[in-house]
Structure 1
């Protein structure tokens, strides 16, 4: 995996991600791969030992990974959360809002185009897993 796109200050987690079933059976595992049909809530008791959670996006139209990311961030996960697979340029800003901080797209993305896409909408309309205040909160304090 290249260093981009990654939005973290720490070293990249390069441990091999095991499947959820394998992770639950391996107390030394620190990286897990989540498929779209998995219930990420089973990871909550193990969040402190995880360095990397990789969430698979086998098809761009499958949005279950967004919910998984937000559940994990709201449960207190602070490690690297990577979107892997069919990740498209126009999805990255929304994925960031849900809590993803690194990406492994199946097709490489242009870094400048991704940065431009991230900056396209400076305001958000609702709260999310990130710290960005919604525009109504900015207007009304």
Structure 2
């Protein structure tokens, strides 16, 4: 997972992400968009050719995209994993734990608020798709 965060504030992408159905129907696409409710597991045989997976967050309270991120990262996906849509600044630290390294929020992100959110906690409490070591393991390890 990349150490730095990437932001997209416009519709210009390096390569347009195609729908999941379109991706599965062609052999040359390297960028795919997963909508809420679509099964990320169908991408697992194709991880080696993917450079970008854009995951839709249609509403901030819809958490299905977090699972999509974890499924892909835990299966070995190393490309860009972008959260797109109704992404709020307080969700970005949690999205990073699930493997997201790129963000395309619908609303502008205040960099100062984001920096504070990312620095808020020194320890994590459970394993995730990132490299964070759970605090209990640090105490007993």
Shared fold, TM over 0.5: yes
Which runs of 5 or more residues in structure 2 are unaligned? Answer: 8-12
Q: 2: CA distance between counterparts of 1:27 and 1:110?
A: 39
User: What are the residue-to-residue correspondences of 1:16-31 with 2, within 5 Å?
Assistant: 16-31=16-31
Q: Aligned pairs, how many?
A: 133
1:53 maps to what in 2?
53
Partner of 2:32: 32
Q: Distance in 1 between matches of 2:52 and 2:112?
A: 25
- CA distance, structure 1, for counterparts of residue 22 and residue 118 of structure 2: 35
For residue 62 of structure 1, what is the aligned residue in structure 2? 62
Deviation at 1:124, TM superposition (A): 0.6
Report deviation, 1:6: 1.5
Question: 2:135 is matched with which residue?
Answer: 135
Q: Distance in 2 between matches of 1:89 and 1:128?
A: 19
- The TM-score with structure 2 as length reference comes to 0.91
**1:5 and 1:104 in contact (8 A); partners too:** no
Structure 1 segments of 4 or more deviating over 4 A? none
Contact in 2 for aligned 1:85/1:104 (Cα 8 Å): yes
For structure 1, list consecutive stretches of 5 or more residues without a partner in the other structure.
Answer: 8-12
Question: Shift of residue 112 of structure 1?
Answer: 2.1
1:1-141 equivalent positions in 2, closer than 5 A: 5-6=5-6, 14-141=14-141
Give the Cα–Cα distance (whole angstroms) in 2 for the partners of residues 41 and 119 of structure 1: 32
The separation in 1 between residues aligned to 2:47 and 2:111, in whole angstroms, is 30
Mapped to 2, the partners of 1:5 and 1:135 lie a distance apart of 24
CA distance in 2, matches of 1:95, 1:32: 18
